[in-house]
Amino acid sequence: MNEKRYFTLAEANALVSELEPLLRDLQAMKCEIQRKYQKLQEAKLAVVGAAIVPDDLFFTEEAELEFLVFSANSLLRQIQSTGVEIKDIDTGLCDFYSIQNGEEVLLCWRLGEPEILYWHGVYEGFIGRKPLD
């Protein structure tokens, strides 16, 4: 685990433009993983009860799925190595640790927002978001 990184608002906002394409790629990978997994499960159910099923019948599909998961995890680690905490891949919700008025807080940004506009306490979460002053 990386050491906690603290961001100024300017530093966090500068990272937002780098995060956007990475998060979109991560979202696309997650959708593709879910789609391939569902398709694989359906194919496996279709052969249940078949007299003879070769051991390697689903090898290619399983290998592709495994590679996608590996790629998504690598991308996730790349994003996390910046010090950003991804709270929700589906909505692109990210937090950046910061010190405001001597207190540890989280600057809160969601994919689609032009810049960081909100913050919340460490234990408040998304529902506790407040507009930046």
Residue pLDDT, tens place only, 33-65:
999 999 999 888 888 777 676 767 788 899 999
- Work out how many domains the chain is built from and give that number: 1
Q: For 4-26, how does the pLDDT look when each residue is reduced to its tens digit (9 = 90+)?
A: 999 999 999 999 999 999 999 99
Q: Is residue 2 in a domain?
A: no
Q: Can you give the pLDDT at residue 46? A: 83
Q: Is residue 3 in a domain?
A: no
Q: Can you give the pLDDT at residue 122? A: 92
Range of the domain at 105: 9-128
Residue carrying the six token digits 């306490």: 121
DSSP 114: S
Q: Is residue 109 in a domain?
A: yes
Q: Is residue 49 in a domain?
A: yes
